[in-house]
Structure 1
Amino acid sequence: MGEYVLVPGARLGAWVWDAVAERLRSAGHAVYAVTLSGLAEGDTDRVGQQQHVDDIVSVVEGNELSDVVLVGHSYSGIPVGQAAGRIVDRLRRVVYVDSSIPADGLSFADAWAEEDRAWLEDQLTDGDGTWLPAGAEYFVDQDLSEQAINLLATRSTPHPGLTLTEPARLTRPIDELPTTYIKCLMAGDTPSPDVQQALKSPQWELTELRTGHWPMLSQPDELAKILAELS
């Protein structure tokens, strides 16, 4: 049976993985869902990206996990990719779920177009240094039920802004690690150019889900099945 560490995207907590975690545990796997520092606590001022990397490493090392399937969604692909290089002796596979991937010396925001980076800067200004939760309209047309949209809109919390603008620090190139990238097709037909480049590595494989950007809520059975097959 596998050991899974599930890391949520920006503004989300461990709760977003509940349905997937339940299915994996029912199949006999050990599951550790993470709420990253500054999420759901309200204390975001000094939380930077490396703290999120440390959070993930601490879960793996503190629980003495081995043969770990390390899963990151959306934003959390950035700290997950860094953490994977630090726990490589305990790692079975990295899984990026429709996520960003880290590049040494670049931040989460650096991968965005100039116009989008300017929008994010405005968001962080409005949020007094945090990325404020999105309204329900942000989650429409992504294969989500009304219940799931309401959950995302009401349970999301402000996200520490520094984690989005600080550069990644890789201890090992991500294309050297066994990796599955799960592309959610309703969020775009093809992976981003940096992911396409990484997929040229023989260590990487691509899996597609015909759903939106939050498959742990829209298609938990299908996502859990993909993850279970990787253990």
Structure 2
Amino acid sequence: MAAVVLVHGLYHRPEHFAVLAERLRTTGTEVVVPELHRGSLPADTAAVQAAVDVLAEPPIVLGHSYGGSVITGVHGAGHLVYLAAFMPDAGESAASLGGASLQLQDAIIPEPDGSTTLHPDRAIDTLYGDCPEHLAAQAVGLLRAQAPGCGRGVPEHHSWKHTPSTYVVCAQDRAIDPGLQRKMASRCTDVREWRTGHSPFVGQPDLIVELLLELLATRTTPRGNEGVTTIR
């Protein structure tokens, strides 16, 4: 059975991918959504690696935002998808690549125990500003506290150097600068650009379903960036 592993970003939970996962499952695709928040990038990567290792065939592994740093360190994927995600090279971390936008930084609230949370109203505008109001409210309600330091983690392995990969630039993103996304996208074998905000799995999940089914059907991607596609 064709399989997809969905990897969420900071502050998020597997439940943020619930609609996307269900729509993929209706197509006969096996979907696994590991829980991160293990306290460090190596621990988060190990959790995703464990999910990949039990699958019968190499899956498509999609990482959103910080999840891109996580999937970079995973072995055994058949294809990597970076969705508005950090894509580190040797010695790089999400933070050193540029990290969160100033708008996202302004939404972060330090907590007494060293963790951080996001201001709900600012999170809606930054993460889900292009989503229907009721869906954005649901997504903000699922956000959780984030342990410190994950964004400064440096992957020990760089799977995109030997695994086919697709980068999806979210051109209206307010959390990770689209210009930075385009620079990282040049490392991928395939690039798409969508006119969405940071979280299309909330507002436009069918875009992601369509992409993943396309990749599952072909299991190959063209070399170079001549295949850039813009969704208007």
Q: If the TM-score is normalised by the length of the shorter chain, which range does it land in?
A: 0.7 to 0.9
Residue identity (%): 22
Q: Deviations over 1:85-119 (max 9, x none)?
A: x22xxx22000111111222222211227995xx5
Which deviates more, 159-168 or 213-222? 159-168
Distance 1:13 1:178, change over 3 A: same
The Cα shift of 1:123 comes to 5.0
Output the TM-score relative to the length of structure 2: 0.80
Q: What's the counterpart of residue 105 of structure 1?
A: 91
The answer on whether the counterparts of 1:142 and 1:186 sit within 8 Å (CA) in structure 2 is: no
Q: Which of residues 72, 81, 86 in structure 1 aligns to 2:72?
A: 81
The size of the alignment, in residue pairs, is 209
Q: Which structure 1 residue ranges, 4+ long, deviate > 6 Å from structure 2? A: none
Task: Provide the C-alpha distance between the structure 2 equivalents of 1:80 and 1:17, rounded to a whole number of angstroms.
Answer: 16
Higher RCO (CA < 8 A, seq sep 6+): 1
Distance 1:206 1:132, change over 3 A: same
Distance 1:16 1:123, change over 3 A: closer
Q: Which of residues 142, 147, 162 in structure 1 aligns to 2:149?
A: 162
Q: What's the counterpart of residue 136 of structure 1?
A: 121
**Greater fraction helix:** 1
Matched, 1:223 2:212: no
Distance 1:93 1:124, change over 3 A: same
Q: Deviations over 1:33-57 (max 9, x none)?
A: 121134xxxxxxxx11100000000
The within-5 A match list for 1:13-162 is 13-38=13-38, 47-61=39-53, 63-83=54-74, 86-87=75-76, 91-112=77-98, 123=108, 125-126=110-111, 128-140=113-125, 142-162=129-149
SS in 1 for 2:78: strand
Task: Provide the C-alpha distance between the structure 2 equivalents of 1:226 and 1:113, rounded to a whole number of angstroms.
Answer: 26
The answer on whether the counterparts of 1:79 and 1:102 sit within 8 Å (CA) in structure 2 is: no
The answer on whether the counterparts of 2:52 and 2:58 sit within 8 Å (CA) in structure 1 is: no
The answer on whether the counterparts of 2:65 and 2:84 sit within 8 Å (CA) in structure 1 is: yes
Task: Provide the C-alpha distance between the structure 1 equivalents of 2:45 and 2:214, rounded to a whole number of angstroms.
Answer: 26
Output the TM-score relative to the length of structure 1: 0.81
Structure 1: stretches of 5+ with no match in the other structure: 39-46
Task: Provide the C-alpha distance between the structure 2 equivalents of 1:165 and 1:56, rounded to a whole number of angstroms.
Answer: 18
Q: What's the counterpart of residue 209 of structure 1?
A: 194
**Counterpart residue identity of residue 155, structure 1:** L
The Cα shift of 1:224 comes to 0.8
The answer on whether the counterparts of 2:167 and 2:185 sit within 8 Å (CA) in structure 1 is: no
Distance 1:74 1:115, change over 3 A: closer
The answer on whether the counterparts of 1:94 and 1:178 sit within 8 Å (CA) in structure 2 is: yes
The Cα shift of 1:136 comes to 2.6
Task: Provide the C-alpha distance between the structure 2 equivalents of 1:126 and 1:112, rounded to a whole number of angstroms.
Answer: 23
Q: Deviations over 1:73-95 (max 9, x none)?
A: 01110011111xx22xxx22000
The Cα shift of 1:58 comes to 0.6
Q: What's the counterpart of residue 222 of structure 2?
A: none
Distance 1:127 1:227, change over 3 A: farther
The answer on whether the counterparts of 1:71 and 1:96 sit within 8 Å (CA) in structure 2 is: yes
**Counterpart residue identity of residue 160, structure 1:** A
The answer on whether the counterparts of 2:169 and 2:181 sit within 8 Å (CA) in structure 1 is: no
Distance 1:30 1:189, change over 3 A: same
